[in-house]
Every structure is written in C-alpha cells, then in structure tokens.
Amino acid sequence: MSLRYRVEIRNPARCIGCYSCVFACSRHLFNAVDPKRTAVFVEADRSGSRSPKVSMCRFCKEPECAYACPHGALQPLPEGGVTLTPSKCAVCKTYDCIEACQYKVLVLDEEKKVPVLCDRCGDCAKYCPHNVFWYTEAPAI
C-alpha cells in the first residue's frame, strides 16, 4: 500500500492548464495517460478570460456518494472520503453515487465500470509545477 497524504487544492488561480496533475493521477491509478481516467480534473477556459478550473475529491466527512450507493460499494472513511469494494459495483446499473457527488468530481471508469477514486497518493501535487495543490503526510489511523 502506498503512503497516503492529505491532499487539497490550495492555489487554484495558479493553474495554467498544463494537465500535469491529470496525467500523473491517470498514470498512478491506471498506468495510463488518459484524461478520462483520472481523479483530478482541469477544465480550461477557452476564452482565456480566467484560469482553468481544477477540481478533485474533497474527502467529505458525510459523503453523499456513499449514502447514495444502493449496493454498499462505497463506504465512508473516518478521516473523510470513501473506500470502494469494486465487486459490489458489478450489479449496479444506475451509478447513483456519480450523480450524488455534490462537487461533480466522481466519475465512472468506463472500462472497469466502477467509480474512479482519489487514493491520496499525492502525485497530483508532486507533479504540479505551479503549486496548485497542497499535500502532507497523513497521520496513521
């Protein structure tokens, strides 16, 4: 198991839309470089009038995604966020958890048919050249 970090977006205005965080996340989670298979999202402003919008899981203490899951595949963690039991997603056809995320940062991995979850590896922060993210080692639970 890899070391877990507390990860959050601290300086969103510094994002220039380079997608380094997105690709680092995709590589970590799926050993791929695929902006559709990631837990970090960058939405570029095509007009250039504002900074790109960067988003990721906020590790809710009361995660609506977990409460919406009819099969118990997502379970709340005491420190916030959720854990996933992928086998319980096999029978799901509605993916209510995706719709329930109030921040719209939970997406479905179309290949595996399970939600893509941030595992707090910290790679998004480590590879961001503009310090958009903040991360620190998480205390042991």
Report pLDDT digits (tens) over 111-137: 999 999 999 999 999 999 999 999 988
Average pLDDT over residues 31-46: 93
CA–CA gap between residue 103 and residue 40 (Å, rounded): 12
**Beta carbons within 8 Å of 125's beta carbon, 6+ residues apart:** 5, 7, 21, 132, 133, 134, 135
> Which carries the bigger pLDDT value, residue 11 or residue 44?
11
Q: Is the predicted pLDDT of residue 2 greater than 80, yes or no?
A: no
Output the pTM of the full model. Answer: 0.89
Please check whether residue 140 lies inside any domain of the structure. no
Same domain, 84 and 124: no
Same domain, 49 and 72: no
The CATH number that applies at residue 32 is 3.30.70
> Which carries the bigger pLDDT value, residue 49 or residue 115?
115
